[in-house]
Each structure stands twice: as C-alpha cells, then as structure tokens.
C-alpha cells in the first residue's frame, strides 16, 4: 500500500521527480567515478608495488652519508659483506637472500637506435637469477659466465627497468622525434659498456676494453639508473678490469616464510645498521598519498552531496505542503502517522535508487571516455594500466544503497513533518 501510494505520488509530478533524480544522479556519478578512480589507481599502484616489493620480502641497503654534489660520492656507514649475507641467511624464517652488487664506479653506456646514438652515464648492477626469475628470462642465459664474456660474439645478458621505456618514450624519443617503443623493440638491443668512464664527470679513456651487452628482458626490480647483469659476472668484471677486491653488495632482498614473520626478521636485521624497507612500508606510503587524494576528491563530493541534499529536503518540504490535503484524506481513511511518513521515505528511496543506478551507469560511461582520452594522450608510456578505474558489483550495490539512504536522510525531516500534519487543518484547506 505504501509503495503503491509512493509510486502514484512520483508519477503525478514527473518533472519534479525528474529534477530531483537529476540532482542526486550528478552526485552519484561523481561519487562512483571518484571511488572507481581511487580504487583503480590504488589497485594499479599496489599491484606494481607488490610486484617489486612482495609483502613477504624485505629490502636492505647499507647506510651511507652524502659527501658532496656527486650523488655517488658517499661515505659508507655500514656495508653488506658476503659474511653478513651468510649470517642473514641463517636468521629464522628467512627462506632466501637475493644480494645485488654493482660494477665499481660509473660506466658509460652507448646504445644505437634508429641511426641515432645515445651515450649516458649509468651504473651496472648485478642480480642473482632469483631476483629476476619472475620475469621469465631463461636461467641458462643468465648463468652463462665465461672468460670471453662481453664480446660481440658473447654479449653480457642485460635486463633493464620496465620504467626505462616510459622514460625513453617520454623524453628521448619525443625530444629527438624518434618512434615510440614497446618492450619488444628493446629486446635484442646491443649496448656498449665503457667501464670507469663518465661523460658527466669528464672521466675519459680509461683504457679498458668496451664490453658488449644485449637486452634480454625487463624487470620492475631492475634499477632505473643502469642495466642489470648477473651478479657473478659483476664480481668477475670488478676483479678482472677494475682491480677491486671489495665484494660487498649494494642491497639485498630477503625473502621471509610468512607475512607474520616479517617483524621478527626486521628486528634481527637491526644489528647490521642497514636501511630496511618492506612491501608493507611501500603500501603504507601509497596509502598515505591516497589519504590526501581521497580527502580532496571526497571533499568535492561532499559539497555536491550537501547541495543535492538541500534540494531533496526543499523538494520534499514543498511536496508535503502541496499534499497537505491528501495527507488529511489519508489520515481520515485510517492511515497512521508512521505510514504517512513511510510513504514519503519510500518515495525518497525510489528516487535515490533510480539515481544511484543511473549515476553508476553514467560514471561507467564517463570513465570509459576518460580512459580513452587519457590512454591516448599517454600512449608513449609502455607500462600503463588497462583502465584507471575499477568497477565492481560491490561498487554498484554500494552506490545504489548509499543513494537510497542519502535521499531518505534528507527526506526524513519533511516526512516527519508530513506525519505531524493535523487531519482537521489539512481537510479544511
């Protein structure tokens, strides 16, 4: 009976119903859109973050102090020696340690692509196969280590950061009017490595032979400021060409058997005076950024909701005033005060529900359009999400339920006012 009367009321003034639906729909579009955007971006960043820093993995680096302008001019405060790495492997719950080393000093890398040669300073990192294994690079290629390594016939296997393609496409390719690249374009590219040379710091002609490397794959764990080759090869290069006896590591990934045991392992690592970061820390950082974004977006939605709420309240107050006579009739026919108020709340609920559904659909269509525009404009970025928005049945249900409750909250006072209408006064009107 309540639903029947509520529907009759809604259809009796379709233009006003439509106007209220439009007002709430606009809010719901933005609410769903912003929520889907936050969810989409968070999922994308979390996925990337967890790929680089799984929750069961810790990352450690020796502490150091900057000495001057040169970012590589550091005074070590601690170091990761093979002995320390061995000790860390013995810590309870540690399943494996993936230590990474680096070729001493700065190297100069030269890549020729599309007839243009790019020369840049970079570091050469060494990583065990376990670190990059997830990227499906053939283990045999990675473990090849012979005396003739680094020659044109037997180039060093190199992996580069997945983000380097973005950097190339965004800066170098755009600046030099070169074609955009995909990951596949890079595979097989030859790189000339000039050890102990720097264009930036003016270290030329080290007298060392130019080594050859070939890109075999990509990894999010590869460092952006250089290339990554097998760690055994790095040790070999240090000894053979740079006369370096120092076999310390620059960082290490420590795999722990479960998330619960991350904390005890962290505690055990404190005595080595190293910087420790975990996947959870990375997620916390992302979360803290998101708190700021969420506050800003939610503030916009809140203002819109406030305005729509006022519109609902004023529309329903006007409705109650207009329907005073009808309320009197219904009371005379035996409808209770509570039933009168329920009719108005059901009416508001229907308006909210319809608005929620249309709002969600509108948000979905808008985000499809936004995705198309954004993804087209950043086509040079290789590793971008398929969509910046994440929609789920849960979001659909939440939007509709929220819209219903929202409309009912703002219709509550008018509905209460309707229930208090005196039937005598109403009928005498």
Partner 1 sequence: MAEHSIEIKSLHKSFHLGKQSIPVLRDIDLNIKKGEFISIIGPSGSGKSTLLNMIGGLDSATHGSIHIDGVDIHKLNDKAVSKFRNNKIGFVFQDFHLLENLTVEENIALPLRIQTKRNSLSRAQKKAVTQMLKVLDLHERAHHRPYEISGGQKQRTAIGRALITNPEIILADEPTGNLDTQTGHQIISLLKAINKQKGITLIIITHDHHIAALADRIVQIQDGQITTKASTHKFTH
Residues that bind partner 1 (CB under 8 A): 1-4, 8-9, 11-12, 325-326, 328-339, 423-424, 427
As measured in angstroms, the least distance from the Cβ of 416 to partner 1 is 14
* Residue with smaller CB distance to partner 1, 8 or 239: 8
Q: What Å distances lie between residue 186 and 122, 142, 160, 164, 168, CA to CA? A: 17, 17, 9, 10, 11
As measured in angstroms, the least distance from the Cβ of 28 to partner 1 is 27
DSSP, collapsed to helix, strand or coil, labels residue 203 as strand
* Residue with smaller CB distance to partner 1, 163 or 337: 337
The phi, psi pair for 80, rounded to 5°, reads -110, 90
The phi, psi pair for 258, rounded to 5°, reads -155, 160
* Residue with smaller CB distance to partner 1, 163 or 325: 325
DSSP, collapsed to helix, strand or coil, labels residue 221 as coil
3-state secondary structure 104-129: CCCEEEEEEECCEEEEEEEEEEEECH
How far apart, in whole angstroms, are the C-alpha atoms of residue 247 and residue 350? 71
* Residue with smaller CB distance to partner 1, 117 or 336: 336
As measured in angstroms, the least distance from the Cβ of 358 to partner 1 is 24
Q: Are 203 and 197 in contact (CB under 8 A)?
A: yes
* Residue with smaller CB distance to partner 1, 101 or 324: 324
Q: How many degrees, rounded to 5, is the angle at CA 336 between CA 332 and CA 339?
A: 120
As measured in angstroms, the least distance from the Cβ of 298 to partner 1 is 38
* Residue with smaller CB distance to partner 1, 362 or 423: 423
As measured in angstroms, the least distance from the Cβ of 338 to partner 1 is 8
The pairing of strands 274-278 and 57-62 is antiparallel
* Residue with smaller CB distance to partner 1, 333 or 386: 333
How far apart, in whole angstroms, are the C-alpha atoms of residue 376 and residue 379? 5
Q: Are 107 and 120 in contact (CB under 8 A)?
A: no
* Residue with smaller CB distance to partner 1, 311 or 427: 427
Q: What is the DSSP string of 55-72?
A: TTEEEEEE-EEE-SSSTT
Q: What is the DSSP string of 22-84?
A: HHHHHHHHHHHHHHHHHHHHHHHHHHHHHHHS-TTEEEEEE-EEE-SSSTT-EEES--B-HHH
């Amino acid at each position: 009976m309540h639903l029947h009367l509520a529907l009759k009321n809604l259809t009796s003034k379709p233009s006003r119903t439509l106007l209220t639906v439009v007002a709430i729909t606009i809010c719901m579009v933005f609410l769903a859109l912003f929520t889907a955007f936050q969810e989409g971006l968070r999922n994308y960043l979390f996925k990337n973050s967890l790929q680089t820093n799984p929750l069961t993995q810790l990352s450690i680096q020796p502490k150091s102090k900057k000495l001057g302008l040169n970012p590589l001019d550091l005074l070590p405060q601690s170091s990761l020696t093979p002995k320390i790495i061995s000790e860390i492997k013995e810590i309870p719950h540690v399943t494996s340690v993936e230590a990474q080393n680096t070729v001493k000093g700065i190297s100069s890398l030269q890549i020729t692509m599309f007839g243009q040669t790019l020369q840049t300073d970079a570091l050469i990192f060494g990583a065990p196969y376990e670190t990059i294994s997830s990227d499906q690079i053939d283990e045999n290629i990675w473990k090849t280590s012979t005396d003739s390594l680094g020659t044109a016939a037997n180039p060093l296997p190199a992996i580069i950061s997945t983000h380097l393609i973005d950097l190339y496409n965004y800066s170098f390719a755009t600046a030099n009017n070169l074609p955009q690249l995909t990951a596949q374009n890079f595979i097989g590219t030859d790189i000339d490595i000039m050890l102990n040379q720097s264009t930036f710091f003016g270290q030329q002609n080290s007298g060392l032979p130019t080594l050859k490397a070939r890109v075999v794959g990509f990894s999010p764990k590869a460092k952006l400021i250089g290339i990554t080759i097998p760690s055994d090869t790095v040790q070999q290069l240090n000894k053979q060409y740079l006369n370096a006896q120092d076999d310390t590591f620059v960082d290490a990934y420590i795999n722990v058997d479960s998330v619960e045991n991350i904390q005890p392992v962290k505690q055990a690592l404190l005595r080595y005076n190293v910087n420790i970061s975990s996947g959870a820390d990375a997620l916390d950082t992302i979360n803290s950024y998101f708190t700021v974004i969420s506050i800003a977006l939610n503030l916009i939605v809140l203002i819109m909701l406030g305005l729509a709420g006022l519109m609902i309240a004023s529309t329903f107050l006007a409705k109650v005033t207009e329907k005073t006579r009808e309320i009197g009739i219904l009371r005379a026919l035996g409808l209770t005060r509570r039933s009168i108020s329920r009719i108005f709340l059901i009416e508001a609920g229907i308006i909210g529900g319809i608005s929620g559904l249309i709002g969600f659909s509108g948000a979905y269509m808008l985000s499809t359009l936004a995705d198309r525009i954004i993804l087209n404009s950043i086509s040079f970025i290789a590793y971008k999400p398929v969509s910046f928005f994440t929609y789920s049945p849960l979001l659909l249900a939440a939007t509709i339920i929220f819209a219903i409750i929202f409309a009912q909250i703002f219709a509550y006072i008018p509905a209460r006012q309707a229930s208090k209408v005196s039937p005598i006064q109403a009928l005498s009107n």
